Amino acid sequence: MSIRTLHLLGSPVLRERSSEVPEVDDHVRELVADLFDTMRAEQGIGLAANQIGTAERVAIVDIGEEEAIVLINPVIVEREGTIRDEEGCLSIPDIYGDVDRAARVVVQTTTLEGNRVAVEATALRARTVQHEIDHLDGILFVDHLSPLKRRMLLKKWKKMRKGQTGYLKQVAPAPVED
Ligand code: NI
């Protein structure tokens, strides 16, 4: 288990369509553990494997208040309603935009024990599930914005990154609270 390097917007792996994992083996379990370590260090609520450089269909969602969801080869099988709310992404720090998402989803996923299950999620948890599954298809939240809004945010992103090279972020452990 370890904190991994985060890939930021501009890194090609974020635009890859990730491959399905053939089975839940030690490699996948380690990947899930690394996702949790890295997401917690960054104080995020979800993370997809390609954000740490592994283009496989594995992601996690943990909004804190409800049980975490491990997504392995996830498929959304039900969607209901629409909510527009602000969204961000650990791979595009400090950039936020309003995105329409289904208010409720049911997602089929494989558990760490290898069982195929259906998990229901609503509100923020549903939003995060959809955001992470987008990652597995090489889609980022800014792709859902109007062309004008997207251009504006990407301009801001470029400005904020001025002088920085590369698209990798070394993640430091989160400070321990007393
Ligand atoms: Ni993201």
Residues of the chain with pLDDT under 70: 177-178
Confidence at residue 9, expressed as pLDDT on a 0 to 100 scale: 96
Report the number of distinct structural domains present in the chain. Answer: 1
Closest C-alpha among 97, 108, 98, 106 to residue 126: 106
Instruction: Kindly state whether residue 176 falls inside one of the protein's structural domains.
Output: no
Instruction: Kindly state whether residue 1 falls inside one of the protein's structural domains.
Output: no
Instruction: Kindly state whether residue 19 falls inside one of the protein's structural domains.
Output: yes
65 catalytic? Reply is no
Instruction: Kindly state whether residue 177 falls inside one of the protein's structural domains.
Output: no
For residue 90, the CA-to-ligand 1 centroid distance in Å is 5
Q: Is residue 103 exposed (0-12), middle (13-18) or buried (19+ Cβ within 10 Å)?
A: middle
Instruction: Kindly state whether residue 26 falls inside one of the protein's structural domains.
Output: yes
Residue-wise pLDDT tens digits, 104-152 = 999 999 999 999 999 999 999 999 999 999 999 999 999 999 999 999 9
Instruction: Kindly state whether residue 145 falls inside one of the protein's structural domains.
Output: yes
Instruction: Tell me what percent of the residues of the chain surpass a pLDDT of 70.
Output: 98
Domain containing residue 52: 6-169
Instruction: Kindly state whether residue 174 falls inside one of the protein's structural domains.
Output: no
Q: What is the CATH number of the domain that holds 30?
A: 3.90.45.10
Confidence at residue 178, expressed as pLDDT on a 0 to 100 scale: 62
Instruction: Kindly state whether residue 125 falls inside one of the protein's structural domains.
Output: yes
Residue-wise pLDDT tens digits, 100-114 = 999 999 999 999 999
Residue 42 near residue 90, CB atoms below 8 Å: yes
pTM, two decimal places: 0.95
Selected catalytic residue, list 42, 56, 87, 132: 132
Confidence at residue 165, expressed as pLDDT on a 0 to 100 scale: 86
